[in-house]
Amino acid sequence: MARPLVSVLLPVRDGARTLEAAARSILRQTHDRLELWIVDDGSKDGSLEVARALAREDGRVRVASAGGAGLVAALELGRARCGGELVARMDADDESLPERLERSVAALEADPSLWAVGTQVEIFRDDRPVSPNMQRYARWLNGLTDPDRLAAERFVDAPLCHPSALIRRAALEAAGGWRDGAHAEDFQLWLELLARGGRLRAVAPVLFRWRDSGERLTRVDPRYSGRRMVELKAEYAARLAPRARVWGATEVGLQLMRALRARGTVVEALVDVDPRKLGQRIDGLPVSAPDGLPPPGPGCCLFAAVGAKGAREEIRAFALARGYREGADFFAVA
């Protein structure tokens, strides 16, 4: 067999019920220059045995055991063993459609400035309909097919579906791989790649079926909590902006303001449209109306942290009319 171009990295913990279907969706890919690393993270339900049976059947399947040290440890163990120039992610309860890797590889080969791509996704559940919030998230993700649009919206939410991603191995190594810490490992990786000058985008059409459930890490792991996500956004926003203006005296806006200050960014304006808040001083900073927002200045970014329906579009139009450039000195934050 030719040396694999793509190494698919599939960590699993107690996923025996769905692991075989997920793995076979990779083995049926139209791009066949691949290896599949299944990394068992201390499963107690027979997942390791399922993985070993697949390896006996198909020589492209390799199996490793991470011993229950956690998701990031399993990813990093697998990364060290991957031989391909490109590293794809996969989860044990999802499904890759047959052309996922072929189209993702083609996107990276066509554009050397791309460091990673995800795909458009379909979110599904076994037990009930997908929630409206998750449907909105999928629509937003699926719209990030342009690298500039994705970079501009990097602080809204994780801008690529992690298990659908294909990443240049050199870029992954330059970013230090997946990091085990206080924050979501996937969002941190995308922000790090973008901070280093990489470009990312989603590949059309829908090529990945992403399972939602009540047990997914984003719902049960504190690293994915709203407060931790704001802290992570602030860490990377502070790298862009020694000075900042925050639009939104909201819970998220105030968290962001305080987190930026804690990282050395000077927050010089706090903007809101709520007449009850105007004129108040919060943490020593007066809340001002949008009309008082100064024009863009060197080394300064405007961060809009307002989640009301339609507010992001209205703030975007106002900021652009004032001369702000989205993705350069203006970013939406959610």
- The yes-or-no answer to whether 6-223 and 225-332 have a common fold is no
How many Å apart are CA 262 and CA 244, to the nearest integer? 13
pLDDT at residue number 309? 81
How many Å apart are CA 60 and CA 203, to the nearest integer? 25
Whole-prediction pTM:
0.95
Across the chain, mean pLDDT equals 95
pLDDT tens digits for range 317-333:
999 999 999 999 999 99
Range 225-332 classified under CATH 3.40.50.11030:
no
SS3 per residue for 265-301: CEEEEEECCCCCCCCCEECCEEEECHHHCCCCCCCEE
The answer to whether 123 and 206 are in contact (CB under 8 A) is no
pLDDT at residue number 1? 59
Instruction: Name residue 246's beta-bridge partners.
Output: 270, 303
pLDDT category of residue 13 using cuts at 50, 70 and 90:
very high
Indicate the SS3 state at residue 221: coil
With 70 as the cut, is the pLDDT of residue 217 above it? no
pLDDT tens digits for range 21-30:
999 999 999 9
DSSP H or E run through 61: strand 61-65
pLDDT at residue number 213? 83
Mean pLDDT of 119-139: 95
For the chain, the domains span 6-223, 225-332
| Architecture of the CATH domain 6-223 | Alpha-Beta Complex (3.90)
